[in-house]
Amino acid sequence: MGHHGYGENEATLGDRLTAAREGAGLSVAELADRLGVRAETMQGWEADQAEPRAVFLGRLSGMLGVPLTWLLTGKGQGPQTGGDGAASLPRTELRELRRLLHEATQRIDRLEELLAND
């Protein structure tokens, strides 16, 4: 699913959105949840089947740590990729913690639902 073989002029908004999301170590579902949209909506944006409204573009820029100008045009500094080892270790740990938090949240939701039905 990585879109890393494109040139600046060939990349679409969906390509840049995917690259920024992957650079942030987030799944489609995680980012959609944080943004308050359905995963299908996020997938549509990444596939260039639809475009996010301006309010979402600004929030995506902030959440993904990329300039809005880059997200819209591809000009400027894009997502930071893990460099050589030391710089990528905190990023890898953060990604793992986000995954664990997401799993824990799902488990809590399931347990609360079970308890509510008792």
From the first residue on, what is the mean pLDDT of each consecutive set of 10 residues in the chain (118 residues)?
48 91 90 94 95 92 90 83 46 68 86 90
Distance of CA 81 to CAs 22, 26, 38, Å? 9, 13, 26
The pLDDT assigned to 91 comes to 60
The pLDDT assigned to 2 comes to 42
Domains of the chain, residue spans: 1-81, 83-118
The pLDDT assigned to 96 comes to 67
Token pair listed for 116? 């509510």
**Are 71 and 60 a contacting pair, CB within 8 Å?**
yes
- Domain topology for 1-81: 434 Repressor (Amino-terminal Domain) (1.10.260)
